[in-house]
Amino acid sequence: GAYAALVDRLLASKHFGERMALEWLDFARYADSNGFQSDGSRQMWLWRDWLIQAYNRNLPFDQFTVEQLAGDLLPNATQDQIIATGFNRNHRLNGEGGRIVEEWFVETVIDRVETTGMTWMALTLNCCRCHDHKYDPISQKEFYQLFAFFNSNDESGVLGPEGKNGVNTPPLLRVPDETQKAELAKLDQAIVEAEARTKEAPGRMAEAMADWEADLRAKLGAKSSSALSTWTAVPEATAKSSGGATLTRQGDGSWLAGGKNPPNDTYEITMPVAEGDFGGVLLEVYPDASLPNQSLGRGSNGNFVLTGVELKLTSPGKPAQDIPLAKAEADYEQPNYGVEAIIGNRGSKAKARKGSKGWAIDGNSADKRLPRRAMFLPASTVAVPKGAMLTVVLNHQSQFSDHNVGKFRLSTTAMSPSLAKLDGGVGLPAEIVKLLSGDPGAIAPAERKTLEAYFREHADHPVRRAKAELDAVRASRKSFEESLPSVMVMKEAPQPKEAFVLARGEYDKPSDLVPRALPSVLPPLPQGAPLNRLGLARWLVSGEHPLTARVWVNRTWERLFGTGIVKTSENFGSQAEWPIHPELLDWLATEFISPTVLPAVNGKSAGPWDMKAMIKFLVMSRAYRQSSAASSESFARDPENRLLSRGPRFRLRGELVRDQALAVSGLLAPKLGGPSVRPYM
């Protein structure tokens, strides 16, 4: 009839899944933020999309259960089955300073036990985390035996170190769409081609070195300024970071910062300096694939803010001598962040003035990946005795956290500061000049090795170019992959973690070691089921389990009639209300598992655990279809309609009131799925 056709049409609507998902999102404690003090945003909408589609395609409730609790443990698990496990990653994530990681790992696992108990069995397990309870059929020991099923997820239990707004905490799954998959394939092919070129490059090194040597000999013979230039690269040095970053020397003499990136860091580079005159320092800053945006700095957009430069000369037997700076010049500056500000900060004073301005290069500019250079000069040359050491201090004390230089190289000059040029080339060390100025045939084998080593470490040669190209394309792929939408999921750790009874439920008071096991008041695991989350999920939807089907049917009844057959739908325990129609609840639960009279939906016969068929069966009933009007006598006799003396009538949920207001005003957006929106609040 027309009514049955209307029911089928509503069940086939793409918005059916949205409406059904509403309560399940509450069970799963879904949110678009991590909670706690900072309450930063997270991405879990891919799991929400999976949930809506699971309802729309009428995924049987037993499969619906298994995929959410243990989809990652299924043989040859699909992407959708892994996404489904996001159910148990909807918990809060603590990112507060001073948090204790193990404490919040334990709290996360306890949250999963309590959520699973309430969602599938309508059991309140909160009390028995701390102690046995006279009303509770589940003991504290049994609580921690259930805890053991969830104890081995490969996670920290707290917000990850990169868990800023919109960044998920591992384990996570990145989910590209078709266009993004095609881009990944292009990048993968580019990596294959770049790897092939790196294998070919060593065969061209001998020819490249011969050309390099001939070119330099010609320039030296002509006294070319590009060989005999302003700046000399520092041949050896040591570097350290006050904030705990690692500064690693690269083959070209530069330093690459990695590891910890403190809000404000100070680098100290100490090097031998040639006897004679000292006229200043050149700082070259380079892009690197390991840095944000493959740019020059460690700030999130690839920028840096250098607020201070200090030069200190230490001579044998004498205290360190500060070399005051009189001039600073750079080849590029971010507006309002010029290098001259460093002179205004007066070197060492900058580190006492957090929030100082300094030299920045604008991480959002189109040219953010170009190398930049700046020179720092005293008023006049400084006399350097034999055996002296120069220390260069780079301060980063701006108001912008993490804006530290990423990759840099230092060079020095013996020229007068008045003659030093920012664009002067970095010259050859004296030893290399000597070798290239003499007779090529007179170079000894050891000297030839020195020349070859310098070529490998400093020259622009095929191997270096091929490696740089490979690094760049790998970094592009990594950056693109990290931009893809992600969802937090479950993933078993390589080694199961032991579980203990926790005295008073406190993370740091373990007592008895407990194995994975089920409460004795409930049936055992099905024959052959594994003793892990997959076995637990299959146990919940086994025909022998007395609660799962009854809980789902009761909640569906509550959704349709306003009150469940068991009024306390969240609690089927001994302190809950007794079902008003226990035989009806039993029969509906049995019919849900193994249907005999459930109707077909849109021409498809009902199957086991068929959610749409059960909903259609209930809304087709005379009890549901009767009028909700009630006489005063009927209302007095059955005020809560527990006896079904009239049709259901109850208030709309708050979310539905909002949707109705938007619908009648023509403002309701029917778009399904995708990232969450943030309306005005």
Q: Which residues, listed in sequence order, are joined to residue 384 by a DSSP beta bridge?
A: 276
Q: For residue 466, how many C-alpha atoms fall within 13 Å in the half-sphere facing its CB?
A: 17
By C-alpha distance, which of 410, 394, 385, 330 is closest to 362? 330
- By three-state DSSP, how is residue 101 classified? helix
Instruction: Say what the pLDDT of residue 356 is.
Output: 64
By C-alpha distance, which of 214, 389, 213, 406 is closest to 303? 406
Give residue limits of the domains in the chain.
17-175+486-545, 177-227+428-484, 228-423
Q: Is the pLDDT of residue 434 over 90?
A: no
Q: Quick one: DSSP state of residue 257?
A: E
State how far the Cα of 99 lies from the Cα of 163, in Å rounded to an integer. Answer: 14
Element (H, E) at 539: helix 533-540
Ramachandran category for residue 477: left, alpha or beta (phi over 0 → left; psi -120 to 50 → alpha): alpha
- By three-state DSSP, how is residue 46 classified? helix
Residue range 613-657, pLDDT digits in tens: 999 999 999 999 999 998 898 889 999 999 999 999 888 899 999
What is the separation, in whole angstroms, between the first and last Cα of the chain?
Answer: 45
Class in CATH terms, 228-423? mainly beta
Helices 445-458 and 205-221: crossing angle in degrees, nearest 10, is 100
Q: Quick one: DSSP state of residue 428?
A: -
State how far the Cα of 637 lies from the Cα of 643, in Å rounded to an integer. Answer: 9
- By three-state DSSP, how is residue 563 classified? coil
SS (H, E, C) 604-672: ECCCCCCHHHHHHHHHCCHHHHCCCCCCHHHHHHCCCCCCCCCCCCCCCCHHHHHHHHHHHCCCCCCCC
Residue 351 — very low, low, confident or very high, per pLDDT cuts 50/70/90? Answer: very low
State how far the Cα of 30 lies from the Cα of 677, in Å rounded to an integer. Answer: 15
Question: What is the pTM (predicted TM-score) of this model?
Answer: 0.71
Q: E strands of 293-386, at which residues? A: 305-306, 308-314, 321-322, 327-330, 359-360, 372-377, 382-384
Q: Is the pLDDT of residue 227 over 60?
A: no
Residue 347 — very low, low, confident or very high, per pLDDT cuts 50/70/90? Answer: very low
Residue 298 — very low, low, confident or very high, per pLDDT cuts 50/70/90? Answer: very high
Instruction: Say what the pLDDT of residue 145 is.
Output: 98
Residue range 550-605, pLDDT digits in tens: 999 999 999 999 999 999 999 998 788 899 999 999 999 999 999 999 999 999 99
Residue 229 — very low, low, confident or very high, per pLDDT cuts 50/70/90? Answer: low
Could you tell me how far CA 428 lies from the centroid of its own chain? 45
